[in-house]
Amino acid sequence: MNWLIEFFGSAEYWTGDDAIPLRLLQHLEYSFLAFAIAALVAIPLGLLIGHTGRGAVIVVVSANAARALPTLGLLVLVVLLIGVGTLWPVLIPLIALAIPPILVNTYEGIRGADPDLRDAAYGMGLRGSQVLFRALLPVALPLILLGLRLSAITVVATATVAAYVGLGGLGRYIIDGLATKNYAEVFGGAVLVVLLALAVQTLFTLLSRVIVSPGVRQVR
Amino acid sequence: MDEPLVRWDWIARNWDNGGPTSVKVLLENHIVMAFVPVIAGLLIAIPLGLACARYRWLYQPTVGIMNVVYSLPSLALFSILLSVTGLTQTTVIIPLTLFSLAVLIPAVVDGMQSVPDHVRQSAVAMGFQPMRRLTRVELPIAVPVVLAGLRVAAVSSISLVSVGALIGQGGLGYLFIDGWQRQFYTPIVVGIVLVVALALVADLVIIVAQRLLTPWSRRRA
Amino acid sequence: MITFDGVTKRYADGTVAVDDLSLEVPDGAITVFVGPSGCGKTTSLRMINRMIDPTGGRILLDGKDVTAVDPATLRRGIGYVIQQAGLFPHRRIVDNIATVPFLLGWDKKKARARAMELLERVGLDPKMARRYPYQLSGGQQQRVGVARALAADPPVLLMDEPFSAVDPIVRTSLQEELLRLQSELHKTIVFVTHDIDEAVKLGDTVAVLRVGGKLAQVAAPADLLSDPADDFVREFLGRDRGIRRLGFVPAKNLALDPAPEGVTPEGHGTFNPARDSLRAALDAALLSPDGLAVAVDDDGRVLGVVGEAALVGAARG
Ligand SMILES: Nc1ncnc2c1ncn2[C@@H]1O[C@H](COP(=O)(O)OP(=O)(O)O)[C@@H](O)[C@H]1O
Ligand SMILES: [Mg+2]
């Protein structure tokens, strides 16, 4: 508690380079860009391999391997290779981290759809893409949203590492606090990240209320 | 920098140089800090997950807490624990155990829910006592789902240990810090390759274990 | 008319599911494919709407080879009902029924109005329209499946064991509903089942298949029961063939004796010669202590009686 009051009560964190709103915006920028790019890659790919069944094994195995990529290692490697002029050094590791949950859940959602549903859809004369978008996708939606949510939360929590190579975001408080043994600052930074993650969580819960049909029973 | 991505002589010299930062020692530390949390997590998650599956009202709050845990930045947890447990492996192991729990508890609950009702009913009807029913019927059926969770937990844990390097306990993660500070690619590449390789081996072991444990279940990649 | 012309299906793994099948499915009637599990019924059916393509022979729909038609276009003109209904879980019942009209580009209002009409036609409460599939029982879902197949008024209906997953009482009512619908609609229906009783009850023509995908016999139900082509068909038809066949012989030709003094419908088995079969008349005789079946008209007036011996004589033909 004292740490929280010390952190949030200090004027130092409300103005200038270290202001909370600024850090928050930076953090959101990295996270959102990485998440959006990952979703743009992973959802179409997941839909495609789930629907056609082609290349499924290789994609799922490499997605699992990608989960193992150490963010810190990838980050320092990319910075050494291309420098810090752009956002890419932080985006690349985050994208690598964000893709697997979305890809695997999209694939599983489409592939796992009831075979009778698929059969009936084709039998009524829906074409391949109509079967995918009108029958399978709505049913896979809860699982896809779960993947998106896990991915977004992981990205928000991991974007903190960007601070290690001198980039901004909420990780600054944690890295700087660690360097100066200012635990109030570390703690304050962590609390901000968790609050952000909870906001993301809430957003997805609301989103699934709106876009998932009540006829499709919720997956968790 | 016109330096090659990998300098093989560095690897040869540093694989086993007797010092505390030889690659071999780092790898060993990495394995300990990655696997202890997963095993501890599994041992805790099974009873907790079973409790959640039995007493439904426990489930929502537990999942809520686990969602918060899941969103904690590992670095922050390490840093804060550092003030309690100091520069030991425990500082890394405790947070990673929490992360494992966040994955494994839902997996155990889902696994128990994957037991078809008619199977459970017929086990009751045949006179299985609750404990026996659990160990002989329900847990074996839940195994594939739990192991799927275990794969994610193990791979994430192996990857996350390296963040511990920022507080001085990160196994192979040390190579990232070392390479960064010396602007030297080789240790970074070696670190990444070893972490991914370790994860793949762990993943493979779990897949094989699943085949052996549940020969009746359908094959899945 | 649907014509199977030497149709063969060999799956990639070498299984021959259908072997040189030649058969005509007449318009406006129900043709049932029946046979033990794995004999190729589903495969035969699904080749009609090109869910599966044959590896040999041709299937003609009104004289035109189906493989010459774009599958999706072909299927929109053929109703398809499967065992688990396969309803879209994310759509309300009314929109499930209107699926094909929507695909065909019907106006939304018109499609929904048509769906509501069909909902009542298959015997469902209009209140169900706003529900989702999971809120319906298995039997109700199956009725929706039938309504959905009929939505765009296709001349042909394919039904693959549509009533196999529901309990016997619901199954009977679904069967009767189908016969009632068919008496109004006169669709060309191909109906697949493994249940011989269902086959003889619903079929105008019954095609019996044996494992290996060979046609064993095609006949009207009564002929099938009286003259099975071989031991396999005889075995498959099961016991009580003689009695079951009587279900297809109308009772209207029975010679009635005047009812003796004191014989009333009470205490006797009765039948209605205008509607019932010989089987019902024999049953009525067996239920009466004196062995007399009492014939009554629609208003319950006694028309006469017929004795056991006369019934057995009539049954022998
Ligand atoms: N996709 C397939 N690949 C290989 N064999 C199949 C396939 N589908 C069906 N079969 C086989 O073809 C035979 C006929 O199957 P099916 O038409 O489904 O029979 P039925 O509907 O009469 O039970 C069976 O032996 C079945 O195992
Ligand atoms: Mg079949």
**CA C15 to ligand 1 center in whole angstroms:** 8
DSSP string, chain C: -EEEEEEEEE-TTS-EEEEEEEEEE-TTSEEEEE-STTSSHHHHHHHHTTSS--SEEEEEETTEEGGGS-HHHHHHTEEEE-TT----TTS-HHHHHTHHHHHTT--HHHHHHHHHHHHHHTT--GGGGGS-GGGS-HHHHHHHHHHHHHTT--SEEEEESTTTTS-HHHHHHHHHHHHHHHHHH--EEEEEES-HHHHHHH-SEEEEEETTTEEEEEE-HHHHHH--SSHHHHHHH-S-HHHHHHTTSBSTTPPPBPPPTT--STTS-EE-TTT-BHHHHHHHHHHSTTSEEEEE-TT--EEEEEEHHHHHHHHH-
Mutate to test the pocket of ligand 1, among C8, C43, C208 (most ligand atoms within 8 A of CB): C43
What is the pLDDT, as a whole number, of residue B220?
Answer: 43
Among B31, B52, B62, B71, the residue to mutate for chain A (most A Cβ within 10 A): B71
Over pLDDT 90: what percentage of chain C? 75
> What is the mean predicted confidence (pLDDT) over C118-143?
93
C87 close to A (CB below 8 A): yes
Same domain, C200 and C100: yes
Q: Give the closest of A67, A68, A70 to B173, CB-based.
A: A70
Same domain, C196 and C306: no
CATH of the domain at B109: 1.10.3720.10
Neighboring chain A residues of B195 at a CB cutoff of 8 Å: 68-70, 73
**CA C18 to ligand 1 center in whole angstroms:** 9
B7 close to A (CB below 8 A): no
Same domain, C180 and C117: yes
Q: At what angle do helices A71-82 and A88-111 cross, to 10 degrees?
A: 130
> What is the mean predicted confidence (pLDDT) over C282-302?
90
**CA C212 to ligand 2 center in whole angstroms:** 13
C142 lines ligand 1 (CB under 6 A): no
B74-117 pLDDT tens trace: 888 888 888 888 888 999 999 999 999 999 999 999 888 888 88
Give the Cα separation of C228 and C249 in Å (integer).
Answer: 17
**Does some domain include residue B104?**
yes
What is the pLDDT, as a whole number, of residue B205?
Answer: 92
User: What domain range is B40 assigned to?
Assistant: 8-213
C99 close to A (CB below 8 A): yes
C105 close to A (CB below 8 A): no
Could you give the C-alpha distances from C185 to A82, A204, C98, C153, C159, in angstroms and in order? 73, 49, 19, 9, 16
User: Is C103:A126 a contact under the CB 8 Å cutoff?
Assistant: yes
> What is the mean predicted confidence (pLDDT) over C103-116?
94
Please determine, for the modelled complex, whether the ipTM score is greater than 0.90: no
Give residue A217's pLDDT band: very low, low, confident or very high (50, 70, 90).
low
Ligand 1 atom having least distance to the Cα of C213: 14
Give the Cα separation of C181 and C175 in Å (integer).
Answer: 10
Closest by alpha carbon to B147, among B62, B100, B197, B209?
Answer: B209
Give the Cα separation of A140 and A146 in Å (integer).
Answer: 10
Give the Cα separation of C91 and C129 in Å (integer).
Answer: 10
Could you give the C-alpha distances from C290 to C263, C267, C285, C286, in angstroms and in order? 10, 10, 8, 9
By alpha-carbon position, which residue is closest to atom 16 of ligand 1? C40
CATH of the domain at C124: 3.40.50.300
The pLDDT of residue C34 is above 80: yes
By alpha-carbon position, which residue is closest to atom 17 of ligand 1? C40
Q: Give the closest of B76, B165, B221 to A174, CB-based.
A: B76
Residue A155's contacts (CB-CB under 8 Å, 6 or more residues apart) are: A31, A34, A35, A38, A94, A97, A98
Give residue B1's pLDDT band: very low, low, confident or very high (50, 70, 90).
low
Question: Which residue reads 């793994």 in tokens?
Answer: C13
Same domain, C119 and C256: no
> What is the mean predicted confidence (pLDDT) over B160-171?
90
Same domain, C160 and C69: yes
**Does some domain include residue B171?**
yes
Domain boundary residue, one of C186, C217, C245: C245
Residue B13's contacts (CB-CB under 8 Å, 6 or more residues apart) are: none
State the sign of the Cα–Cα–Cα–Cα dihedral C181, C182, C183, C186.
positive
The pLDDT of residue B221 is above 50: no
State the sign of the Cα–Cα–Cα–Cα dihedral C39, C42, C45, C46.
negative
Taking the CA of residue C257 and the nearest CA in chain A, the distance in Å comes to 56
C14 lines ligand 1 (CB under 6 A): no
Same domain, C118 and C8: yes
Ion ligand 2: residue ranges with CB closer than 5 A: C 42
Give residue A74's pLDDT band: very low, low, confident or very high (50, 70, 90).
very high
By alpha-carbon position, which residue is closest to atom 27 of ligand 1? C38
Query: Are the Cβ atoms of A123 and C75 closer than 8 angstroms?
Result: yes
Same domain, C79 and C153: yes
Q: Give the closest of B163, B183, B203 to A64, CB-based.
A: B203
User: Is B215:B140 a contact under the CB 8 Å cutoff?
Assistant: no
C36 lines ligand 1 (CB under 6 A): no
A117-128 pLDDT tens trace: 999 999 999 999
Structurally, how many domains does chain C consist of?
Answer: 2
- Give phi and psi for B38, each to the nearest 5: -70, -45
CB atoms within 10 A of CB B34: 28
**Does some domain include residue B109?**
yes
Ligand 1 atom having least distance to the Cα of C160: 21
**Does some domain include residue B221?**
no
The pLDDT of residue B219 is above 70: no
Same domain, C258 and C238: no
Joined tokens for residue C105: 């580009």
Q: Calculate the average pLDDT of chain C.
A: 92
Give the Cα separation of A102 and A35 in Å (integer).
Answer: 10
What is the pLDDT, as a whole number, of residue B218?
Answer: 55
Give the Cα separation of B44 and A174 in Å (integer).
Answer: 29
Structurally, how many domains does chain B consist of?
Answer: 1
**Does some domain include residue B183?**
yes
Could you give the C-alpha distances from C242 to C15, C206, C226, C270, C312, in angstroms and in order? 37, 17, 7, 21, 11
B183 close to A (CB below 8 A): yes
Domain boundary residue, one of C195, C220, C245: C245
CATH of the domain at C267: 3.10.580.10
Give residue C31's pLDDT band: very low, low, confident or very high (50, 70, 90).
very high
C170-223 pLDDT tens trace: 999 999 999 999 999 999 999 999 999 999 999 999 999 998 899 999 999 989
Give the Cα separation of C281 and C246 in Å (integer).
Answer: 9
What is the pLDDT, as a whole number, of residue B74?
Answer: 87
Q: Give the closest of A124, A125, A214 to C132, CB-based.
A: A214
The pLDDT of residue A23 is above 50: yes
User: What domain range is C18 assigned to?
Assistant: 2-245
Chains B and C touch (3+ CB pairs under 8 A): no
The pLDDT of residue B17 is above 90: no
Count CB pairs under 8 A between chains A and C: 76
Structurally, how many domains does chain A consist of?
Answer: 1
B195 close to A (CB below 8 A): yes
Same domain, C169 and C299: no
> What is the mean predicted confidence (pLDDT) over C9-16?
94
Same domain, C77 and C204: yes
Neighboring chain A residues of B198 at a CB cutoff of 8 Å: 68
User: What domain range is A181 assigned to?
Assistant: 2-217
What is the pLDDT, as a whole number, of residue A219?
Answer: 38
Ligand 1 atom having least distance to the Cα of C44: 17
What is the pLDDT, as a whole number, of residue A24?
Answer: 93
Q: Which of B94-98, B124-128, C160-164 has the least mean pLDDT?
A: B124-128
B47-69 pLDDT tens trace: 999 898 888 899 889 888 888 88
Give the Cα separation of B139 and B130 in Å (integer).
Answer: 12
Over pLDDT 90: what percentage of chain A? 55
B18-52 pLDDT tens trace: 778 888 999 999 999 999 999 999 999 999 998 98
Over pLDDT 70: what percentage of chain C? 100
> What is the mean predicted confidence (pLDDT) over B163-170?
89
Same domain, C222 and C170: yes
- Give phi and psi for B218, each to the nearest 5: -65, 150
Q: Which of B2-6, B174-178, C306-310 has the least mean pLDDT?
A: B2-6
Give residue A32's pLDDT band: very low, low, confident or very high (50, 70, 90).
very high
The pLDDT of residue C317 is above 80: no
Joined tokens for residue A84: 């810090």
Query: Are the Cβ atoms of B71 and A183 closer than 8 angstroms?
Result: no
Domain boundary residue, one of C198, C228, C245: C245
Could you give the C-alpha distances from B19 to A166, B87, B173, C89, in angstroms and in order? 30, 18, 16, 63
Interface of C with A in 142-161 (CB under 8 A): 145, 148, 158
